[in-house]
Amino acid sequence: MQKIIEKLTENAQLIYRKSIDADAIIAKLQSSGKGKFNAIFPSDAGFIASGRFFKPYVEELAQDIANLSQIEPEQQKQALPKVVKKIELLLTTLNQFQVSVKV
């Protein structure tokens, strides 16, 4: 499980770097009157966090990964799919966002 947690951490670091750039673009868009939305993900996406920037979602993901190494193996197996889904959602959304703002 330790190797899986290491890979999840690597993915979270990649997401963090991409989210910094994306949040800067969102801030520019919003300061010019564009990007009028309340949350990046809908409330049923699996995140507790909510916000107009990626940062709260990335922080939640980082905390989830940190928590994985502190719980029992059986709990890890139950928590892992939720963490992987969050990684997938964040990577997909960040990639789509990068493509859409370059157009």
CB 79 within 8 A of CB 67: yes
First vs last Cα of the chain: how many Å apart?
41
Which of these, 86, 82, 92, lies nearest to 18 by C-alpha position?
Answer: 92
pLDDT tens-digit series, residues 60-81: 999 999 999 999 999 999 999 9
For residue 103, pLDDT over 70 is answered with no
Domain residue limits at 96: 2-102
Question: Rounded to 5 degrees, what are φ and ψ at 86?
Answer: -65, -40
pTM: predicted TM-score of the whole model, two decimal places: 0.91
| Over residues 82-102, mean pLDDT | 95
Number of separate domains in the chain: 1
Burial class (CB within 10 angstroms; exposed 0-12, middle 13-18, buried 19+) of 49: middle
pLDDT tens-digit series, residues 21-43: 999 999 999 888 887 788 999 99
